[in-house]
Every structure is written in structure tokens, then in C-alpha cells.
Amino acid sequence: MHGLRARFILGIAVFLIGTAVGYSQNQAETYTATVDQDGVQHVRILGGDYFFKPNIIVVKKDVPVELMVSKEPGMVPHSIVAKAPEAGIVFDESLSTEPIIIRFTPKAAGKYVFYCKNKLLFFSSHRDKGMQGIIEVVE
């Protein structure tokens, strides 16, 4: 009886730890870009197991932005997409472990979503699993 109880408790502990780890990756992490000496706002973004880090990026309007985006090693493909032409923020790129550079100059203040468009057959999309973020453009 004690063996069964111990396995049950261990199973609960593993579930709770797994839930906590998954939750921590989807927590909000904000990065406020600063204008570097070259006049560009540089931001590094890492994509991974259904997360972007950081997932909230604050940038200044009318100042060029350069996103350096990559993904964690692994077999699962990821992408990064933003569709806000009214703000000058439009991109759709596949991610790899080698960083790619995405450049744009935000033209309108507001909050704009970026996300992973990937989806495997009948499963939830990566976006539905939490792989999305916000670019907040401020004056």
C-alpha cells in the first residue's frame, strides 16, 4: 500500500512541477528597447517550446527597430509573424537556431501582436499554445 501511495504522490509532484515549468515560460517578460549609438533600437528574441522571450517589446515610434530572432534547438519548427501594415510592422519569417534580422520602423503608436503561425495537423496552433507577444509602440 505504501508503494502505491508513494507513486501517487510522486505522480502528483511531477505533474505540478511540469505545470509550473510550462507556466513560467509563458509569463510576461517585457523588454524596453533603447536607441543605440547607430540610431536603431536592437531587440533579441528567442522562440522555443511555445513561447517568445521577451514576449512584450516596447519600442519608440519613428525610430528604426532591428529584431534578432532565433529559436531554441529542437525538431519543432517555429515562425514569427506580425501583420500591422498601418504601423509599418509586417513580417513573416521561419525561425532557426541561426539568428535572422527583421527590420522595420514603427509608424503608429499602439499595441501590435506577433505570433508563431505553425500548427501540426489537428493539434492546437503554436499561437493557441501561448506562442505570441506584443510590440508596444510608444511616442
- Per-residue pLDDT of 18-47, as tens digits, reads 433 443 456 899 999 999 999 999 999 999
Ordered by where they begin, the domains of the chain are: 29-138 (2.60.40.420)
Chain-wide mean pLDDT for the chain? 87
Segment 41-60, tens digit of pLDDT: 999 999 998 999 999 999 99
Is residue 66 within 8 A of residue 104, CB to CB? The reply is no
| Measured distance CA(69)–CA(2) in Å, rounded | 50
Cα-Cα-Cα-Cα dihedral sign, residues 122, 128, 130, 131: positive
The three cell numbers locating residue 6: 508513494
**What would the pLDDT profile of 81-117 be if each residue is shown by its tens digit?**
999 999 999 999 999 999 999 999 999 999 999 999 9
Q: How many helices (H) and strands (E) does the chain have?
A: 1, 10
